[in-house]
Amino acid sequence: MSQAKKKMSARSFAQQKRNKRRMLTSLRMVRYGVNNFSRNAWLTVAATAVMTITLLIVFTTFAARGVLVDTVSDISSRIDMSIYLKNDVREDDVATITNDLESLSNVQRVRYISPEDARRAQVDQQKGDQETLQALSEATNRLPATVRISLHDINDVSQLNSFVDSNQVYIDNRDTEREPSFAGERRQAIENITKWVSFAERIGGIATLVFIVISALIVFNTIRMAIFNRKEEIAMMKLIGADRNFIRGPFIVEASMYGFVAGVVATILGVVLLYAVREPLVEYGLPVATTINDTVALIGLVLLGMIILGILIGVISSYFATRKYLKI
């Protein structure tokens, strides 16, 4: 065998030994971390419980956001923007206006309601109320011709604003006594709904961040107490030449197990909570079914995300705890 081949063989053998040593070291760190997790029962329960609450709040925040988005979407699909035309508007002008509106990218559907159709709709709505029906039959004023517009995004009325300002056919036939609904009180109501959704999302995000910080601090203190409890053991490990990663590793594994267990428990509790509140929310008219169905359909990804988040909280907390208190 040539000298070059001998050197390559020696390097390969040395590399294999290093890899084997690293694997054994990693296995030992995992074993020590698992032992530490089960050895400090009350610390483990405290840290895991707080992290579970944190992850449950994260789960609830995302679920609540889904319900809010579905609620706004449901309300949006029922809300029509209206523009009002003169009673004597011509049919060809109506056709021109509706066609121009339908050409707008944000317009989903356009319906024209004549004064006669509006009157009949009012009569149908008031069936059984004789006084109101009598008043309607005696009324001499005519209801306006109305064009109702459904939008894909009810928060974007820029195209409608441009239309009512620039479309000459509409300008010539508009009812000057009635402003478009998207410029009046109905528009304000829609904006209020959007503001409440944004406010609820911000509150949920703030609550999530607060509990993540609290959970991280508790894990931090838990690891710190574990370090104090095992300071003689750590001193012995330093004396026999253990490097910093080997000393830090079991604590990181221990904290990761807090996150893993908390992620599983929080996901289970979150799904149970969704099913528990389904009936009350449905009674209030909130569309919760889509959120529940999506959560169940993607339960694997939801569980994985919760576990990863829990482990990240644990790893980051334990890293800073060992860096500060192990002095390594």
Give percent of the chain with pLDDT exceeding 90: 6
The three-state DSSP-derived secondary structure of the chain is CCHHHHHHHHHHHHHHHHHHHHHHHHHHHHHHHHHHHHHCHHHHHHHHHHHHHHHHHHHHHHHHHHHHHHHHHHHHHHCCEEEEECCCCCHHHHHHHHHHHHCCCCEEEEEEECHHHHHHHHHHHCCCCHHHHHHHHHCCCCCCEEEEEEECCCCCCHHHHHHHHHCHHHHHHECCCCCCHHHCHHHHHHHHHHHHHHHHHHHHHHHHHHHHHHHHHHHHHHHHHHHHHCHHHHHHHHHCCCCHHHHHHHHHHHHHHHHHHHHHHHHHHHHHHHHHHHHHHHHCCCCCHHHHHHHHHCHHHHHHHHHHHHHHHHHHHHHHHHHHHCCC
pLDDT tens, position by position, 19-75 = 666 666 666 666 766 676 667 677 778 778 888 888 888 888 888 878 877 776 676
Domain ranges of the chain: 30-74+192-325, 87-174
What pTM did the predictor assign? 0.65
pLDDT digits (tens, 9 = 90+) for 121-144: 555 554 555 454 454 444 445 567
Q: Is the domain covering 87-174 a CATH 3.30.70 domain?
A: yes
**Mean pLDDT by groups of 10 residues along the chain of 328 residues:** 56 62 65 67 78 85 79 68 82 88 86 75 52 47 75 78 87 82 63 70 75 75 71 70 72 83 92 88 79 88 91 82 64
